[in-house]
Amino acid sequence: MAADGGMGHATKRREDVRFLTGRGKYTDDYTPAKTSYCAFARSTVANGKINSIDTTAAAEMPGVVAVFKGEDFAEVGGNPAGWAIVSRDGTPMQEPKRPVLAHGKVRHVGDAYAAVIAETLEQAMDAVEAIDADIDELDAVIDMAGALANDNTLVHDEIGTNMCFDWGWIEDNRAATEEAIKNAPHVTTLKLVNNRLVPNALEPRCSIGEYDPGTGDYRLTTTSQNPHLTRLLISAFVLGIAENKLTVHSPDMGGGFGSKIYHYGEEALVLAAAKKLNRPVKWTSTRTEAFLSDAHGRDHVTKIELACEKDGTFIAFRTETMANVGAYLSNFSTVTPTFLHGTLMAGNYTVPNVYVNVKTVFTNTAPVDAYRGAGRPEATFSLERVIDKAARELGINPVEIRRKNFVKPDQFPYASAAGLEYDSGNYDALMDGLEMRADLAGFEARCTTSAKNGKLRGLGINSYIEACGIAPSNLVGVLGSRIGLYDAATVRVNATGNISVMVGAHSHGQGHETAFPQVVADMLGIDPMSVEIVHGDTSKIPFGMGTYGSRSLAVCGSAVFRATEKIIKKATLIAAHMVEAKPEDVNFTDGEFAVKGTNKKVSFGDVALKAYIPHDFPIEAIEPGLEETAFYDPANFTYPAGAYACEVEVDPDTGKVEICSMVAMDDFGNVVNPLIVTGQVQGGLAQGIGQALLEHGVYDENGQLLSGSLMDYAMPRADDLPNLVVDHSNATACTHNPIGVKGCGEAGAIGSPPTVVNAVIDALQRGGHDVEHIDMPVSPGRVWAAMNG
Amino acid sequence: MNLADNRNIAASRTAVWAAILDPEVLRTCIPGCKEVTGTVDDGFEAVVVQKVGPVKATFKGQVEVSDIIQGESLTLTGQGKGGPAGFAKAAAKLRFLDTDDGGTVLYYDMDAKVGGKLAQLGSRIIDGFTKKLADQFFERFQERLEDQTDADDTEENDEKPKKGWIGRLLG
């Protein structure tokens, strides 16, 4: 029975009170006594040989405490990739070492080669300028095709190639897919670019290292989406600090979007420096450093073919993709363009043949890794753009061609041609809902009105599927993952009846502090406000894998669910003892334990108190206390899906695109807090629209980041966005997790880019311009150029 | 970026050639230049203060002179480091030809690139900025040489009575 504010209740986020009143405590808000400040010297060239780094003058600058160079860390480990990919020919991927500080060579603009620690930040920054670095600029490889063709200019000399791996999915489908395409009545081909994005979380990265010489304990306070993973990487691979002597704490955080999943060299540096200097060391990224050194997103170049019958029945999808990994392998840079991308290449469709080829390429640019959506936006964009083009070529309505190929509700569970098993869904119902909410029937009339106003109106349709909460561990292990993908929760019922829930997931905008208690409160029949979520501190929480890939509620929430089930079981035992009944005769409903067929009952709060004051417990039969931990390893991904519609107006004189409407019809399974889900989708839509219209990380041919500030890198603003209509009422519950939930965090960013581009192309086509494709961002300049030949 | 253009200067080829390699001439003609030292043989060292968009920096750089064909052509290769602002590199090929009226036409063909904060923050404006800088340089260079030539030709130039500002306005 749902208590007030339980499952399904649109409770306002409790954490927003502290965020909106300036009481959040972010990493940079923490300044322990005797803190020293760190600033980094970063490469201004994309590829360079370090001849010498003279730090003599810097070391003598006022306030300077220490200067570190790459050679100081030459003996420690490297920051590893979290997923090993095997190439088509069976060879393992290339894995060059990623050092704490660049040593011997710098490999991208922004690559840190020295660090200064000083009494004040200003002194540290001044001293960085006094470092005399003799670095010979070398030719650089920037564009991927050039990098693959060039054996003379290498990002990593020791591996002898710029290709990390050449992956085929599913390799056994290669020949059949080729045959199907060869014999198909119609083949549509499209070449497209998935534009490089710079994450730009509102709060830049920040790390504070501390060391206690009395106990030998280290403490890292840092902006991390997964503190336990960061601790594991530092302990097992980079610095070798014993895991039980290192606490990693990630407090309130102003957004991550993937960029703070990874362990970065700056974290290792402040920790090592804190030990050496015996005082806290703090580094806060500037916005410029964030542009240059945060892991970027996307950056794929793809050729996709869709083979189909003349009536639009899909026969095969085949893609060839180059995916940029930048200068070093960031922790999840190898899984993002492969298993998070290739496995989604069947979309929502019953297509029988899929083959995906991905070559990942080292270039002299910042590392590229998962960014909100991570591989699925790239897959969806390729699929939904080529489907739109095919529909146009065949003269089939874009809604109809999708419906014709949808997996039907009675086909679930459905094994897709790209290797996944979709557990539940109803794509036709989503499209039905979309047709209503977006009033597709009224489009032609709106088109006429736009034309009267001198504007070209277009309609974009898209249907997407994505995979969230990557799992299970025994499968991902076979596929090359070097970590497990479970999560964990400890539910501690305190003696006075309120509850602390320690979770492995990290909340930095997802609203866990509100949504997770709704699950617990619903199960226990208590007030959600008596449940508190504890997260982010490895000394307090069980080992969980953190927050990314829209996994928190489906995976960690399920762990919370399982731990709460254990609590109910134990509490039932205690209640039975209290009312002198057999446990099997005790029912738990609405927060009360009642003996069947009697009026004997005891409240949850009384049981909690008894658990901690067990004066009359039978010592052999009942353990004191009421605290349970569960580790939850999902049986499968969850498969959110959706149908989106976007209407745009294009100004034929300027090429400016205005988004008139955006409707997102999503299936997230059961919804714990609809208000939070709507907010998540709206945020995702804003980021997707940003990618479609505005954002672009651009390097020039020398490897200089041209869009390296918020003056040149266009983030979406309120006036770039229409009213966002979000609807998640057409739901099919996930069949394999106990709450029946799917992931919602990335959907908006996955579904919206192709919807917008489809709409722009539709507008141009209706306006008489034979334009087949425009790469994102669909800026006024690009649209105008496409219209004017 | 590439920048190629030419200038007609009412001075002899010898005078133009000598001026372009004179540290003092360079110092007064390079916009924002604070200091130039050195020689053709050893190369020059220069300190230039410039503001590109939001980035203001002091550039310390070296300029090398090569490919010298006396009086006809040469190549200037320079790079300046602006600390946290980044760096600028440029190579300019200069050719000197006589004009019919005894002057000189100076052809220049320059490749320049910038890096670091200059590129990140100033890329939108760097092409226009470089062109403006080149124009300013040659404007001053031309003025200086032509004034010099005028001064050589008509000694009384210096003795012209100084006009008040209204007088200057009226010519």
Task: Specify the pLDDT at position A63.
Answer: 98
Q: With bands split at pLDDT 50, 70 and 90, how would you rate the model's confidence at B59?
A: confident
**CB nearest A704 (choices: B83, B115, B124):** B115
**CB-neighbour burial class of residue A549 (10 A; exposed 0-12, middle 13-18, buried 19+):** buried
- pLDDT score at A2: 47
CA angle A458-A464-A468, nearest 5°? 145
Number of H helices, E strands in chain A: 19, 28
> Could you give the C-alpha distances from A138 to A40, A49, A70, A105, B66, in angstroms and in order?
22, 7, 19, 10, 22
B84 shares contact with chain A (CB less than 8 Å): yes
pLDDT, residue B152, reads 52
In this structure, of A346-355, A773-782, B74-83, the range with the lowest mean pLDDT score is: B74-83
What are chain B's domains? 2-151 (3.30.530.20)
Residue A51, in any domain of the structure: yes
Q: Quick one: how far is CA A753 from the chain centroid?
A: 16
Question: Which of B113, B115, B121 faces A709 most closely, judged by CB atoms?
Answer: B121
Q: Do A709 and B120 touch (CB under 8 A)?
A: yes
Q: Give residue A554's pLDDT band: very low, low, confident or very high (50, 70, 90).
A: very high
Candidates A44, A128, A700; nearest CB to B116 = A44
Lowest mean pLDDT segment, chosen from A111-125, A744-758, A761-775, B151-165: B151-165
What would the two tokens of residue B70 be?
């006396």
What's the confidence (pLDDT) of residue B162?
54
Residue A75 lies in a domain: yes
A772 within 8 A of A761, measured Cβ to Cβ: yes
B114 → chain A, closest CA residue: A704
pLDDT of B161 reads: 52
Residue given tokens 């290669």 in the structure block: A174
B83/A contact by beta carbon, under 8 A: yes
> Does residue A164 lie within any of the structural domains?
no
Work out the minimum CA distance from A707 to partner chain B, whole angstroms: 6
Say whether both A325 and A437 belong to one domain: yes
| Residues whose CB is less than 8 angstroms from the CB of residue A270 and which lie 6 or more positions away in sequence, other chains included | A38, A207, A208, A209, A220, A281, A282, A283
Q: What is the mean pLDDT of residues B7-36?
A: 91
Q: In this predicted structure, what is the pLDDT of residue A574?
A: 97
How many CB atoms lie under 10 A from the CB of residue B112? 18
> B114: which chain A residues are within 8 Å (Cβ-Cβ)?
704
The per-residue pLDDT for B147 is 78
User: Half-sphere exposure of residue A379, counting CA atoms within 13 Å on the CB side?
Assistant: 31
Classify burial at A6, counting beta carbons within 10 Å of its beta carbon; exposed 0-12, middle 13-18, buried 19 or more: buried
CATH code, A491: 3.30.365.10
Quick one: pLDDT at residue A667?
98
Kindly tell me if the per-residue pLDDT of A1 is higher than 70. no
How many CB atoms neighbour CB A255 within 10 A? Answer: 18
| Range list of H helices, A299-416 | 376-394, 398-405
Which of the four pLDDT bands, split at 50, 70 and 90, describes residue B126? confident
The residue out of A587, A615, A632 marking a domain boundary is A632
The answer to whether residues A458 and A521 belong to one domain is no
Minimal-distance CA residue of chain B relative to A41: B84
Asked which of A579, A609, A632 is the last residue of a domain, the reply is: A632
Residue A786 per-residue DSSP state: H
Average pLDDT across chain A, whole number: 96
Q: How distant is the Cα of A632 from the closest Cα of chain B, in angstroms?
A: 45
Preferred mutation among A704, A713, A779 to probe B, highest tally of B CBs within 10 A: A704
Instruction: Provide the pLDDT for residue B40.
Output: 87
User: Is the same domain home to A549 and A680?
Assistant: no
Q: Which pLDDT score, from 0 to 100, does residue A435 have?
A: 98
Mean pLDDT lowest for which of A342-351, A489-498, B38-47?
B38-47
- A229 and A315 assigned to the same domain: no
Quick check: A609 and A432 in contact, CB under 8 A? no
Q: What is the mean pLDDT of residues A83-90?
A: 96
Among all residues of chain A, which has the CA nearest to that of B120?
A708
Residue A709: inside a domain: yes
Listed range (A12-21, A38-47, B7-16) with the worst mean pLDDT:
B7-16
Tokens for A39, please give them: 């600033």
With respect to residue A606, please indicate whether it lies within any of the assigned structural domains: yes
Q: Write b or e for each residue in A640-649: b if 16 or more Cβ atoms lie within 10 A of its Cβ, otherwise e.
A: bbbbbbbbbb
For A290-327, write each residue's pLDDT tens digit.
Answer: 999 999 999 999 999 999 999 999 999 999 999 999 99
- Same domain as A215, residue A71: yes
* Assigned domain for A2 exists: no
Residue at A131 is within a domain: yes
- Based on the fold, state whether residues A429 and A413 are members of the same structural domain: yes
Looking at the complex, does the CB of residue B77 fall below 8 Å from at least one CB of chain A? Answer: no
Residue B141 in contact with partner chain A when CB distance is under 8 A:
no
Whole-model pTM: value is: 0.93
**pLDDT > 90? residue B130:** no
Q: Are A362 and A156 contacting, i.e. CB atoms less than 8 angstroms apart? A: yes
Residue A346, CB-side half-sphere exposure with 13 Å CA sphere: 27
Q: Which residues contact A718 (CB under 8 A, 6 or more apart)?
A: none
pLDDT band at B168 (very low <50, low <70, confident <90, very high): low
Over residues A692-707, mean pLDDT: 94
Q: Looking at residues A446-450, what average pLDDT do you find?
A: 97
Chain A residue with Cα closest to B119: A706
pLDDT per position as a tens digit, A758-778 = 999 999 999 999 999 999 999
Q: Please answer yes or no on whether A704 and B87 come within 8 Å at the CB atom.
A: no
Q: What is the rounded CA–CA span in Å between residue A436 and residue A386?
A: 25
User: Which pLDDT band, with edges at 50, 70 and 90, does A600 fall under?
Assistant: very high
**Total number of domains constituting chain A:** 3
Q: Give the model's pLDDT for residue B129.
A: 84
Domain that holds residue A583: 15-23+486-632
Cβ-contact A459, A663 below 8 angstroms: no
Give how far A182 is from chain B: nearest CA, Å.
46
Q: Are residues A702 and A569 in the same domain?
A: no
- Pair A463, A514 in one domain: no
Encode pLDDT of A148-165 as tens digits. 998 899 999 999 999 999
Q: Are residues A426 and A306 in the same domain?
A: yes
Q: Which residues of A touch B123 (CB under 8 A)?
A: 700, 704, 706-708, 712
Number of A/B CB contacts below 8 angstroms equals: 48
A190-194, A410-414, A642-646, B130-134: segment of lowest average pLDDT:
B130-134
pLDDT reported for residue B116: 82
Instruction: Tell me, yes or no, whether A658 and A673 share the same domain.
Output: yes
Last residue of a domain, one of A604, A632, A660: A632
A87: domain CATH number is 3.90.1170.50
Q: Looking at CA atoms only, how far is residue B33 from chain A in angstroms?
A: 21
Q: What percent of chain A has pLDDT over 70?
A: 99
Same domain? For A505 and A411 the reply is: no
B87 touches A: beta carbon within 8 Å: yes
Mean pLDDT computed over A34-43: 97
ipTM above 0.85, yes or no: no
Q: Is B114 within 8 Å of chain A by CB? A: yes
**Contact flag B84-A45 (C-beta cutoff 8 Å):** no
Is residue B117 within 8 angstroms of chain A, CB to CB?
yes
Region A177-205 average pLDDT: 98
Per the domain annotation, does A157 fall within a domain? no
Shared domain check, A642 and A493: no
In tens, the pLDDT along A394-418 reads 999 999 999 999 999 999 999 999 9
Mean pLDDT for the stretch of residues A419-441 = 97
Q: pLDDT tens-digit profile of A498-514?
A: 999 999 999 999 999 99
Decide if pLDDT at B157 tops 70: no
pLDDT-based confidence at residue A789 (cuts at 50, 70, 90): confident
